[in-house]
Amino acid sequence: MVRSISSHSIAPASVLRGDGAWDEALPQIKSLSTRPLVLGRSASTADQRQRLVSDLQAQGIQPLKAQLQFDCCEQDLQRVATEAQGCDAVLAAGGGKVLDAGKLLAHRLSLPCITVPLSASTCAGWTALSNIYSPKGAFEGDVALDRCPDLLVFDHGLVRQAPPRTLASGVADALAKWYEASVSSGDSIDGLVQQAVQMARVLRDQLLIDSLTAVEDPDSEAWVRTAEACALTAGVMGGLGGARCRTVAAHAVHNGLTQLEACHHVLHGEKVGFGILVQLRLEERLGGNRLAGQAHRQLLPLLRQLGLPVSLDDLGLAQASLSELQAVCRFACREGSDLHHLPFAVTPGALLEALVGAAELSPSSL
């Protein structure tokens, strides 16, 4: 049997993890760059970024600071690309959208890329993928990159300073790996894809066990396992399994929800976690999968205990008009959407019904 050639960007060239990883990374950063562009955004992480800059300067490195004004969007990327003239690497420090912007900027400028996550809210520091948003925060599309970052520095001490909400959001985003990969790629004959799906199952099981303790106690071993699962391990599945293994309806729902300004305060993983519940409703009602009802019943209490949104009200959409919700569903069902990786057709009307009833337990799951 002749098989087509597939290309995989599976992992960063180098990963340093643990307490003090940043200090250990400084010599490696110096070998990659003498004048990196240090990219960030949030005012809440400004002190951390300044510490990174000071540490780089102490190594004889001459960093140039740049700050995003919006999420990862073309307007910012074009401005920062101009500011980056004379720089020989991009060091992105922050949450997922900052890391996405840094990766995409390095990709376009053909520069080494260093990611320093300041939370465990996504696996963006790991992957060869960037999501693009409008200046208003609406998802526009994603861009596949030619490689994963050259260096990922996951310093536990830095990440512990992030609000617990960001870790809970990361848990939801990581949990989606199983619920999406299993439905889109569970029957694949490709060995790498099969392995990626099973890794996603193991990841889910670990998060079901550890995540509550992790969010409550950042000094616990459960925190270490959970934070690394969300920010590191979760990135492996997409690299091994490809796009079909990476995102399905849960992320499509996220993409649709970003079109509404009223829920822009909701974190990426929080929207994705809600999207898992929506996807399970679709699987049960349209796909005839009774196990999806059981999975919904298992997952719903955990998301609630983690303080994650499980309904439109929780997302801040209690006052959303029917036309606004219909716009969310049309975007999520548009041609080329990840939602169409489901093994059955979904109309905007069926998706709207699942959105409204995401937090309801169906009779078959009781």
Q: What is the pLDDT of residues 212-231, one digit of tens each?
A: 999 999 999 999 999 999 99
Q: Residue 303: pLDDT above 50?
A: yes
Same domain, 299 and 252: yes
The alpha-helical segments, DSSP class H, found in 41-153 are 46-58, 74-83, 96-109
Tokens read off for 137? 């925060």
Question: In this structure, which long-range contacts are made by residues 138-145, counting pairs with CB atoms below 8 Å and at least 24 apart in sequence?
Answer: 138/258, 138/259, 139/254, 139/255, 139/258, 139/259, 140/73, 143/104, 143/107, 144/243, 145/9, 145/103, 145/104, 145/107
Residue 163 has pLDDT above 90, yes or no: yes
Which range of residues forms the domain containing residue 143? 15-159
> pTM to 2 decimals?
0.95
Q: β-pairing, 139-144 with 89-94?
A: unpaired
> For residue 323, is it within any domain?
yes
Burial of 311 (0-12, 13-18, 19+ CB in 10 A): middle
Counting the structural domains of the chain, the total is: 2
The three-state secondary structure class of 63 is coil
Q: Is the pLDDT confidence value at 245 over 80?
A: no
Which letter does DSSP use for residue 246 in this model?
A: H
Q: Are residues 339 and 290 in the same domain?
A: yes
Between the CA of residue 105 and those of 85, 122, 125, 241, 248, what are the distances in Å? 12, 19, 14, 25, 26
Query: Could you say which of 143, 159, 175 is where a domain stops?
Result: 159
Residue 6 lies in a domain: no
In-domain check, residue 1? no
Q: Which tens digit of pLDDT belongs to each residue from 324-353?
A: 999 999 999 999 999 999 999 999 999 999
Boundary of a domain, candidates 123, 141, 159: 159
Task: Please tell me whether residues 79 and 174 are part of one structural domain.
Answer: no
Alpha-carbon dihedral sign for residues 23, 28, 34, 37: negative
